Amino acid sequence: MMSSLKQPVVHFHGSDAFRPQSSVPSRRFSVLPPLPALNTRWSSSVVSLSKPLFVSKVESFSPLGTLKRSSSTGDAGDNDHVPQKRDLIICRAYEADKSIPIDDSQARSEAARRVKIGVYFATWWTLNVIFNIYNKKVLNAYPFPWLTSTLSLAAGSLIMLISWALRIAETPKTDLDFWKALFPVAVAHTIGHVAATVSMSKVAVSFTHIIKSGEPAFSVLVSRFLLGETFPVPVYLSLIPIIGGCALAAVTELNFNMVGFMGAMISNLAFVFRNIFSKRGMKGKSVSGMNYYACLSMMSLLILTPFAIAVEGPQVWALGWQKAVSEIGPQLIWWMAAQSVFYHLYNQVSYMSLDEISPLTFSVGNTMKRISVIVSSIIIFHTPVQPVNALGAAIAILGTFLYSQAKQ
C-alpha cells in the first residue's frame, strides 16, 4: 500500500484487504479483481489499523516490472522465474467511522467550510450587537416601538427588492402555496418582533435578552401540551436552570417594568409558534435561507403596517419626531437608518448560516450571541447589575446551552 495509518497495529497482507470480513459491512465493498500471487520471499504490503476499512477508489497505473511464475519449457514442473509485467493497483480506503475518504482535497474543503462558518458566526454576532445598540438609542430618544418595528421590516424588504432587481441575489421561485404556507409564519414573526421591540423600549437590552433566553422552556411546553410531543428526561431537567435563572434575574432587576417583561415573554411564545409553523408548512419548499427571510419580512411588513398606524398613528409620530430632533439632532435619522438596516442584515446572516450548519450548532451559536449582546449592552449603556442579577442571567444562559445539547 502507498501509506499506513499510525494506530494500534493489526497486520494483514495486501491481498486480504479485498476479502469480505465479518467486521466490515459487505454493502460498502465493490467487487475488485484479485491481486496476482507473489512469491513469499517478497515482502507483502502491510497496513496498520484498528478499525475496518472501506474501499473508496481503485487506480491502475502503467505496467511495472515484477516477477511472475512461468513455464519456459512448457513442462508443468518447471519453476524458473522469468521477468514479466503487471499493472500496479493502488487502493484508497478510509476507516469505517469516517464519512469521507482520507484525502488532502477533502481536508482542505472541510477546513474552508469551517472558516466560512466561523465568518458567519462572527458576522452574525457583530451585526446583532450593533443592531441592539442603535435600536436602544432610537427607542430612548423616540419611544415608538410599533413604528420602529415597521421601519426595520421596510428596510429589509427594500434591500432585497433592489438585490433581486440588480441580480445581486437570485430571485426566489415561489407560488401561491408557498405564500399560503408562509402566512402563519409571518403572523407569528410579526408578533414576536413587535413584542421584543416593545420590551426593549421599556427595560434594559440586557434584561430583555435574559428573559428571551427562556424561549426553550416555551418550546418544550407548547410542544408537549399542545402538540403532544414527548422529550427525553434531560430536556425537561434543562428547563429548571432556564426558568430559575430567568425568575432570579427578573426579581432582582433594578429597573423592572411589567410591560417590558411581558413583551419579552410574548416574544418568546410567538417565536416558538413561528418555528413550529415554519417546520410544518415550509417542508419541501426549495428557497434559500436568505430569500426565505426576505419573503418573510415582506409579508410581515404588510401585516404590521395597518396595526402600527392604528396603535400609534402619524400624528403621534410627528409630535414625537419634533421633540426627539430638538433634543438629539439630525443624527437621529442615522440611528433609525442604522437600526433598520442592521436588523435585516443580522437576521439575513443567521438564516444563511442555517444552510451551512446543523440545528445544534445554530442553537449553540444563538446562545453565544445572547451572551455577547448582554455583555456589550451592559458596558455601553452602563446598565447597573447586581451580583444576584448577573448570577440569574448566567444560570439561564447555561440552561439554554444544556437544553441545546439535550435536545439532540
Residue 151 and residue 337: Cα distance in Å, rounded?
8
For range 8-27, the mean pLDDT: 45
**Per-domain residue ranges for the chain?**
127-407
What is the spatial distance between Cα 154 and Cα 341, in angstroms, rounded to a whole number? Answer: 9
Tell me if 64 sits within 8 A of 87, measured CB to CB. yes
| Res 219 pLDDT > 60 | yes
Query: Is the pTM higher than 0.75?
Result: no
Residue 269: pLDDT band by 50, 70, 90 thresholds?
very high
- Asked whether the predicted pLDDT for residue 166 surpasses 80, the reply is yes
Give the CA count within 13 Å in the CB-facing half-sphere of 353: 26
Tell which residue, 269, 279, 126, 267, has the closest CA to residue 207: 267
- Of residues 37 and 248, the one with the higher pLDDT is 248
Q: CA 405 to CA 314: how far, in whole Å?
A: 47
What is the average pLDDT score of the chain? 79
Whether the pLDDT of residue 43 is over 80: the answer is no
Percent of the chain with pLDDT over 90: 43
What pLDDT, in 10s, does the model give residues 64-96? 444 444 444 444 444 444 445 455 565 555 555
Look at residue 152 and tell me whether its pLDDT is greater than 90: yes
Q: Which of 31-35, 248-252, 307-311 has the highest mean pLDDT?
A: 307-311
What is the C-alpha to C-alpha distance for residues 268 and 204, in angstroms, rounded to an integer? 17
On whether the CB atoms of residues 376 and 188 are closer than 8 A, the answer is no
Q: In the structure, what pLDDT confidence band is assigned to residue 224 with cuts at 50, 70 and 90?
A: confident
Q: Collapsing DSSP states into helix, strand and coil, what is residue 356?
A: coil
Mean local confidence (pLDDT), 199-227: 90
d(CA 172, CA 169): 9
